[in-house]
């Protein structure tokens, strides 16, 4: 059985979402980020027992039949390929498109959207920078316009249906929600993200995320 290491308030949420969508049973081992360490009985990313699993100390990690993977988006590509079904690529062309959009999300969106999340939500108020938010919003306008155009024909990124590509990209777009102005400029992206978040699997895992302490 696949084991996912991480908490809901981490990038492990991406992997748990995919597994829930596929209806695949899995083992979940909570592991806190090191800066949140202190919860009694919970591993954190610098715990010796976790570093034996993932020497890089990042969250999440996955174990499956002797294979250990880190990097949440890579884990999702592996899980989709392993279990197949409509969330995976139907052929090599679709797998290429899924990889393309996953890398687009990782390189063109997440480095900017995470700055919005940090500087409007996560950092202490005295450490936030509206200048960084403004810079991130400006940098996201181009990628969001490209994403908006890609979604226009069917409302999905690959194959005219909801796939792992939608999960991977939705999870990095979500970080931009504290700057609604960037989504207002890309109405297709805004509607698509709302549709992703209306899915039963997302509602289930996000409710579990909300039960976890924020810090």
Strands 61-64 and 31-32: unpaired
Residue 74: per-residue pLDDT: 97
- For the ranges 30-34, 57-61, 164-168, the lowest mean pLDDT is seen at 30-34
pLDDT exceeding 90 applies to what percent of the chain? 91
Q: What is the pLDDT of residues 96-142, one digit of tens each?
A: 999 999 999 999 999 999 999 999 999 999 999 999 999 999 999 99
CB within 8 A of 215, min separation 6: which ones? 36
Q: What is the pLDDT of residues 145-156, one digit of tens each?
A: 999 999 999 999
The answer to whether the Cα torsion of 192, 137, 206, 41 is positive or negative is positive
Q: Is the pLDDT of residue 13 over 80?
A: yes
The CATH architecture annotation of domain 3-84 reads: 3-Layer(aba) Sandwich (3.40)
Q: Out of 1.20.1050.10, 3.40.50.720, 3.20.20.150, 1.10.287.180, which CATH number does the structure's domain 92-201 have?
A: 1.20.1050.10
Q: Would you place residue 90 in the very low, low, confident or very high pLDDT band (cuts 50, 70, 90)?
A: very high
Mean pLDDT of 163-191: 97
What is the chain's mean pLDDT, rounded? Answer: 95
Q: Would you place residue 82 in the very low, low, confident or very high pLDDT band (cuts 50, 70, 90)?
A: very high
How many whole angstroms separate alpha carbon 25 and alpha carbon 20? Answer: 8
Residue 138: per-residue pLDDT: 98
Same fold, 3-84 and 92-201: no
Tokens of residue 14, six digits? 């991406």
Residue 52: per-residue pLDDT: 94
Q: What is the pLDDT of residues 189-210, one digit of tens each?
A: 999 999 999 999 999 999 999 9
Q: Is the pLDDT of residue 35 over 90?
A: no
Domain parsing of the chain, residue ranges: 3-84, 92-201
Residue 12: per-residue pLDDT: 98
Q: Is the pLDDT of residue 177 over 80?
A: yes
């Amino acid at each position: 059985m696949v084991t996912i290491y991480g908490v809901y308030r981490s990038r492990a949420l991406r992997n748990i979402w995919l597994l829930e969508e596929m209806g695949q049973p899995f083992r979940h081992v909570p592991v806190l980020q090191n800066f949140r360490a202190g919860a009694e009985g919970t591993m954190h990313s610098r715990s010796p027992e976790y570093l034996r699993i993932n020497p890089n100390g990042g969250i999440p990690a996955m174990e499956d039949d002797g294979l250990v993977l880190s990097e949440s988006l890579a884990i999702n590509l592996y899980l989709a390929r392993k279990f197949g079904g409509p969330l995976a690529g139907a052929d090599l062309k679709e797998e290429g498109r899924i990889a393309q959009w996953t890398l687009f999300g990782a390189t063109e969106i997440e480095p900017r959207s995470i700055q919005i999340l940090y500087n409007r939500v996560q950092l202490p108020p005295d450490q936030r920078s509206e200048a960084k938010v403004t810079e991130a919003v400006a940098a996201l306008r181009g990628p969001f316009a490209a994403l908006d155009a890609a979604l226009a024909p069917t409302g999905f990124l690959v194959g005219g249906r909801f796939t792992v590509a939608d999960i991977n990209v939705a999870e990095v777009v979500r970080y931009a929600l504290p700057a609604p102005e960037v989504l207002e400029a890309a109405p297709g992206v805004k509607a698509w993200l709302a549709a992703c978040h209306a899915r039963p699997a997302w509602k289930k895992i996000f409710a579990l995320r909300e039960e976890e302490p924020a810090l």
